[in-house]
Amino acid sequence: MKLNRVSKIVLSLSIVGWLIIGFLIFNSVNVEAKDNIKTNIYKKLKLFNEVLFKVKENYVEEVDLEEMFDSAIEGMLDETDPHTNYFTPDEFKRFTTNTKGEFGGLGISIDKRGQYITVVAPIEGTPAYRMGILAGDKIIKVDGESIVGVDTDESIKLMRGEPGTNVVITIKRPGVKDELDFDIERDIIKIESIPYAFKLDNGIGYIRIRQFNSNTSKELRENLDELEEKGIRGLLIDLRFNPGGLLQEAINTVNEFIGKDKLVVFTKGRAKGTNREHFTRYNRQRTGYPVVVLINEGSASASEIFAGSMQDWDRGLVVGKTSFGKGSVQRLFPLSEGNGIKITTAKYYIHSGRCIHKDLNDQLLTDERVQNGDISKKEIDEMKDKAEKESKEKIYYTEKGRIVYGGGGITPDVEISQSRLNDLEIEMRRKNVFFDYSVKYLLDHEEIRKNFTVSNELVDNFLTYVEEDDIQYEQTTLDSSMIWIKNQIKSNIIGRKYGDEERYKISLDEDTQLQEAIALFDKYPSLELMFEYSQQISEETEENN
């Protein structure tokens, strides 16, 4: 068989790669197993070459060897985990290029899970957040064009654009039969680590940490100084939908509460240099008030390290729902010809010895039944329940001897659920009627005070406006949603007049998960009493099971 120039080059590279891999594997195992492994690897590499060139020479149509190699590499990495990825030169360049602090976009954190671009978390105050985009939503179309199977970078290109322009994204939402279209106007998206920090009317300090970037610990110190000067009797740190960020910043924020030279997190891996311990470095420690840390299923990575460390060192009560469970460490490696690879090299463990990583997530992300919708929600829930039960069997202890659980994610000391929006509320947010109505209202009403109240007459006017968007509802549904609707009208009008922070403060009134967390400070004014309460709940749960 006569080989052309390209085939000869590929064959040469293949043989060289074959020999190098064989040599590396041969030298990385014990003497007893070397011969068997060497023989098996040589056989598999020989088989790979045979398949490659049989297809190259005999397939009915001309094949692209480069694409075949890329596919072979990607197929090989499918046997690892969803976070180990191969990059072509263009993909690697985009991945390693720093993004600007602001851009014209929608305001969502996304990730590719299987064939679908999936919303990890919406960002408060952004167009996507206002219209009700939810974590877990699968984006299947952008302006009518399918993006199923399209990579993350290409999808981002389609969704970003000039501020003020519109884009229609089509969502496949778990539990909702029909596809949902969202016509969203792009806006400047500014990524702030701590967008909100203020003292609540009941004397509790509130700090929302959206992500851990290079400024987080500095912003936290400044906000804590201001809150402590105002006199707070407790502090609530909101980490819901925080996807993580910089490890060192998570350590530095924990430092503010537990002091110097405390072990926060350590990593374990096989490769040299992957087993490391990370300690706090600064002689700072805030005391004098209880701390409650609020998490949910969207809290991941660095936010889990923070929450788990506050729990391990008995410095904060963790409440909410079990966190996501992203506790693996990835490292980027440049390859020849501008290619690159991101490899999972280790896993995170916090002070108590718990591993943050939840293996079930990786299974769900790579399960074709899940990605293709061929598995029922009941089956997925059963898998999650089984994993949750197994995690409760892995017992660890905090510094003061309190029981905490391992097995992936951070299990809260006190579980608090969030109330769900009904169909009418979801539809109103999807069509952005509150934001649009607030714009219209302020054109006719310039004098709006902060103590503005929503009258029944104003609600009737709003509902007339809503009818123009063809939103249908039953009277019973409207009645059950009335308090929520009034709160949404008020928060949007006040927000347009006085800024996003004032809007956010009002919106917290209808945040049932947060309100239940805040109520703990009145019932249990010290951290010790909070811990006793969580222990009581744990014992009651065990008895009922």
- The span from the CA of 351 to the CA of 222, in Å, is 27
530 within 8 A of 311, measured Cβ to Cβ: no
- The span from the CA of 367 to the CA of 330, in Å, is 21
Token pair 């980027």 is at which residue? 332
Q: What residues pair up with 185 in beta bridges, in sequence order?
A: 166
* Catalytic option among 326, 358, 431, 505: 326
* Catalytic option among 193, 217, 301, 491: 301
Token pair 């600007």 is at which residue? 100
> DSSP secondary structure string, 146-212?
E-TT--HHHHHHHH---TT-EEEEEEE-TT-SS-EEEEEE-EEEE--S--EEEE-TTSEEEEE---B
- Concerning whether 38 is annotated as a catalytic residue, the answer is no
- The span from the CA of 121 to the CA of 44, in Å, is 42
Which residue, among 273, 277, 275, 310, has the nearest Cα to 294 in the 3D structure?
310
- Concerning whether 326 is annotated as a catalytic residue, the answer is yes
Is 92 buried (19+), middle (13-18) or exposed (0-12) by CB count in 10 A?
buried
Residues in the chain, overall count: 545
* Catalytic option among 312, 362, 413, 511: 312
Which residue, among 358, 244, 262, has the nearest Cα to 305 in the 3D structure?
244
Number of other CB atoms surrounding residue 91 within 10 Å: 18
- The span from the CA of 426 to the CA of 200, in Å, is 28
- The span from the CA of 79 to the CA of 362, in Å, is 11
- Concerning whether 301 is annotated as a catalytic residue, the answer is yes
φ, ψ (nearest 5 deg) of residue 43: -65, -45
Which residue, among 200, 197, 211, 285, has the nearest Cα to 234 in the 3D structure?
200
- The span from the CA of 140 to the CA of 149, in Å, is 9
365 within 8 A of 117, measured Cβ to Cβ: no
Please count the CA atoms within 13 angstroms of the CA of 500 that sit on its side-chain side: 12
Catalytic positions are 301, 312, 326
